[in-house]
Amino acid sequence: MNIRIILSFAVIYIIWGSTFTAIKWGLDAFPPFLLSGMRFSLAGMVFFLIAKGRGIREMTGKEIRREMLVGFFLTLGNAGVCWAEQYISSGIAALIVGAIPVMFILFNWLGFEKKAPTISALIAFAIGLTGITLISLGDAEASNWKVIVALMLANCSWVTGSLIFRTSTSKAPYFPRASIQTLSGGMFIIFLSNVVGERSVNWGSLPISGILSVAYLALAGTILAYTCYSYLLRNVRTELTSTYALVNPMLAILFGVVWLKEPFTLKVAIAGGLILMSVVMVIYGDKLFPKPVPVNKKQ
């Protein structure tokens, strides 16, 4: 395994694991939709400058419209995570977002490739749903079930955008596609922020943590991490790349406990274990439940 692959894994593990903490810090300065919109708008401008600097060809109208649709769903999903983190801890948000690989299986079956899920995928879905349900029960800080539902809908939006992107036949390079997705999506979320009437921002006395949060989410969490993720998808087995879904929630919980002093209860530990178990079954289910090899009968 070469050094570029190792560094790319380190980036998506550590940086994506820390973005949940960065969102919490950003919410001290900005309302959730504005925070998400600024993150992606800034990243989109940088992606655009990179694409222009490389002299990459312009995209067709059809390609642009499809990438804008991808950006709409992806950024709306992230905006939902930002909104949810107003009410729940970053670690719990990361656990629920960690169930995304399980939802990929379901959505891909119902609306995209129509590929029926395997037995292991169905078991994984049931286990993951049990873990999420456990989080939403009780009277603890994590039990705001309305917020949990909103976060699940955010997951649905992210998965939809990802599947539209994956099933695209566009041959356009990465950077112009990323610039359209993030810039159009970011501007839409900023527009949404104004429509819903989010609280006003005191631009003259912004805390330094809020400014650094936006910069970190845009430059590290979006530009650097997504670029590394795209590189891994092209050069490493998919099941190995998908391990970020296992590592990110664990790191997010650790960062939340250390930096944000968030509680870590037995219920969260059990629920987290169930969700991570479901992701393991999605990634490695074919090995856990291999298909029987057909036996050729002699005529």
For the chain, the domains span 3-198+208-288
Q: Does the pLDDT of residue 270 top 90, yes or no?
A: no
Q: What is the tens place of the pLDDT at every residue in 154-193? A: 988 888 887 788 777 778 888 899 999 999 999 999 999 9
Cα dist from 235 to 89, 170, 238, 268, 270, whole Å: 35, 19, 9, 35, 35
Asked whether 100 and 155 are in contact (CB, 8 A), the reply is: yes
Q: What is the tens place of the pLDDT at every residue in 45-97? A: 999 999 888 766 678 888 899 999 999 999 999 999 999 999 888 888 888 88
CA 84, 16, 167, 193 torsion: positive or negative?
positive
> Using 50, 70 and 90 to split pLDDT, how confident is the model at 292?
low
Opening angle at CA 282, ends 125 and 144, nearest 5 = 40
pTM above threshold 0.75: yes
Side-chain-facing half-sphere of 194: CA atoms under 13 Å: 6
d(CA 260, CA 102): 28
Torsion of the alpha carbons at 39, 44, 50 and 52, rounded to the nearest 10: -160
CA 279, 284, 286, 288 torsion: positive or negative?
negative
